[in-house]
Structure 1
Amino acid sequence: MEFLTSPIDWWIEPFADNIFMRKALWSGLLAVLATSTVGTWVVLRGMSFFGEALAHGVMPGLAIAFVIGGDTTLGALIAALIMVFGINLIRVHSPLPDDSSIGLLYVGFLALAVVIMSSSSGAYSGDLSRFLFGSITGVNDGDLYRQLIIAGVTLLGVMFFHRAFLVMTFDEVQAQLLGLRPRLAHAALFALLATSIVASFQAVGNLLVFAFLVAPPSTAAMLVRRIPVIMTTAVVIGAVSVVVGLLISYHQDTAAGATMALGTVVLFMLALLIRSLSGSYNMRLAS
């Protein structure tokens, strides 16, 4: 119970005394800002499987960039955009359902990344684990600047396309009639999703970025109704998960990315429990 008996030592000193913790905090908060805003539309439009697939789809770009000594962030972004293009291409020309085309590319991209990273010219298993699970305590100033730019682009894009995303979520035909160009809006949403994932993989890794993308918006959607409020609440929930997850990781020597991601799921389960208990209580009062 040190977090209650010695609050300054537990809550403040890790960030005050360690520059790597401060950088990790900023990295996590920027990741949350990017993923929770665009993740709201992912949750509301039922695109969670696509988000998961895209989170893993950046892996070949990471692997190739690492092997040739290039920028892994740029490699991840290129791979994500290629996957978005590939999904749309298969969707147009294949009679299979959308989830089939997404699943095929998901498996193919992830397998390609593992093959590259496990080859003799690839990296060691430790590097593969870093890409999969993140290395938030190892971020540098360059990583933070890239995250800041990508998070800013994502936020501006979500604001610019807000009306199109809103109408398209409930009635795509109406969006077409209103001249909102749903195909362009679809492409913009996919691009924003790709950039938000790329902004977050350094913080929590590709296997765990899905938690940041889906859990905070899902939790917020159970608590509030208006979409801007859902986004804001999701960012707050994600930020709490980042702060508490980093501190638990610091004090208990656990994996930082996994601890933060677990925190988002724990908060979702708590919100679900509270909502269920509240619903049962209201039903009893009504009866």
Structure 2
Amino acid sequence: MPEGHSVHRLARQFTSVFAGERLAVSSPQGRFAAGAARLDGATLLSALAHGKQLFLRFDNDRVLRVHLGLYGAWSFGGDGTFRGASSIGAPRRVGESEQASDDDGTSSGGTYSGPPEPVGAVRVRLVSAHGWADLRGPTACEVITGAEEEAARAKLGPDPLQPGSDGSIFVRKVTSSITPVGVQLMNQAVVAGIGNVYRAEVLFLQGINPWRPGRQVREDEAVGIWADTVRLMQDGVREGRIITTTAEARNGRPKGSAPHYVYKRTGEPCRRCGTAILTAEMAARNVYWCPRCQGE
């Protein structure tokens, strides 16, 4: 599932290439025809990411709320003025790189001729005078009002990537609960945007066992989790992928060949102490940790 940094990259891209543009909105697949009709012809005012949810705000007091989930992805294309990644979302690999699109609507002669024919089950297509965006496979895709957007966001925890986000709320929630910290980090009501990769890597960097109850996490440790999450997710927005290791930890290897400390490294030696990395199921997802660096 794309984590919060990818959704923030999406919001930036939509703002860059579509804000202020009148959009033709359709549902080639047909499943979102009614919702598309409510947005068709409206102008996109802004795009906002809160955790793993994207809110596209239009000038008719309608908001397109999208949660990509495990399989959702946006693809983009357009003319020479249309800049940005050509694909953001699933499928993801370790390192979470963004892949280029084979068809951006440009003819063999280099002239933009409008969006290509839809490929696969395109739930929503947005088209401006200069480019297009296709959405496939989202977990959630709905048209809501501005008030409903506020209500949806109120259910989410603080987002480490939003300017001025209050990390003290996160600290208070984590340290006041008996729930294991590894479970809490995946709860979007505690902190919005963290997924399985960031959970594993931040807890390793802080030396905290994922099974430790929240009440046994010191306040300074919870502050450290928040600070590392902000730093790593900001790096993810800049890089377009999750890289948590330092050059020293990679020991001369390129970023892509050694991006993580513990995530999906079951049985491999810890990059710090050499102990074999462990994995177990936690809240229906695999969690990874070093039993020595992250002892009880």
Structure-2-length-normalised TM-score: 0.28
Question: When you count strand as a share of all residues, which structure comes out higher?
Answer: 2
Asked which structure has the greater RCO (Cα within 8 Å, sep 6+), the reply is 1
Give the helix-richer structure, 1 or 2: 1
- Give TM-score scaled by structure 1 length: 0.29
